[in-house]
Amino acid sequence: MTAYEAELTHIEQRELFYTGKAKSLYRTNRPDVLWVDFRDDLTAGDGKKRGQEAGKGALNARIAAHLFDYLEGAGVRTHFLKYIEPSVHLVRAVQILPLEVVVRNIAAGSLIRRIGWEEGRPLSEPLVEWYYKRDDLGDPLLAEAHIALLSLADSTTLASLKEQALLINTLLQKKFSDAGLLLADFKLEFGRLASGTIVLADEISPDTCRLWDASSRVSYDKDRFRKDQGDVLGAYREVARRLGLV
Ligand code: UDP
């Protein structure tokens, strides 16, 4: 165990300072480390549809920890430090960029509503999209000109985010394909460390990905909740099982 890992065994949870739709963030006894609790809450349609699935938070925390470890091992820098069973991540404190980065391999969701393709049509190459993290505006799609207008990120930062997102896509596609799952699309968030370095943050889980069985194309992700398809927890558990986690 490194000295840094040893220090992480002495982290104490302190006050709640941010409650998101599915995670709660707490401070710790170290200013550079946050305590993230993955809750059982589910939301869809900009928070208009709400639900709960007992055990969902723990499954997402387990799956996301595994994926962050995997990505770190492949050279992707992330905010993730440590998983504490059943539903907590210790993470580096970052300033989250106000952009959601969506990567798509197969047409689904808002893309088919926007451009009129049928669900399931493969894209000839991965598509990277930017969305403005603004609940009051409904997280709208942004063109790069809008990002420049709003000074949300400069062109060098955008190019680097796109490169990282595409690398993460390649790595995740491989990981899920080995588990018999197609990665149709997913959302990433990035954050800035105190040093200025931008790292992958937030989570990667069935809440933030579209994962389809490779042969039947059944959804094993939050679409089961969005579309009232039932057995949401069973689907998330199946993802964890196929990744060898439960
Ligand atoms: N996504 C997410 N959070 C959001 C919006 C989208 O995690 O606030 C994920 C979603 O689960 C899907 C991908 O990003 O895997 C693309 O979502 P899309 O734009 O199709 O929107 P949706 O139809 O899911 O609202």
Same fold, 3-92 and 95-230: no
Q: What tens digit of pLDDT does each residue of 163-215 get? A: 999 999 999 999 999 999 999 999 999 999 999 999 999 999 999 999 999 99
The residues that bridge with 209 in the sheet, in sequence order, are: 186
Instruction: State which H helix or E strand residue 19 sits in.
Output: strand 13-19
Does position 31 have pLDDT exceeding 70, yes or no? yes
pLDDT at position 1, please? 65
Q: How far is the CA of 69 from the centre of ligand 1 (A)?
A: 23
The band of 46, judged by pLDDT with boundaries at 50, 70 and 90, is: confident
Average per-residue pLDDT for the chain = 97
Pocket residue to mutate for ligand 1, from 110, 115, 188, most atoms within 8 A of Cβ? 110
pLDDT at position 8, please? 86
Q: Determine the 3-state secondary structure of 215 from DSSP.
A: coil
**Does the pTM of the predicted model rise above 0.85?**
yes
Given the candidates 3.40.50.2300, 3.90.226.10, 3.40.50.150, 3.30.200.20, the CATH classification of the domain at 3-92 is 3.30.200.20
Give the class (CATH, top level) of 95-230.
alpha beta
Tell me the residue ranges of DSSP E strands in the chain.
13-19, 23-28, 33-38, 41-44, 49-52, 80-84, 88-92, 95-106, 122-132, 141-142, 181-192, 198-201, 209-213
Domain ranges of the chain: 3-92, 95-230
Q: Is 160 in the pocket of ligand 1 (CB under 6 A)?
A: no
**Type of residue found at 97:** L
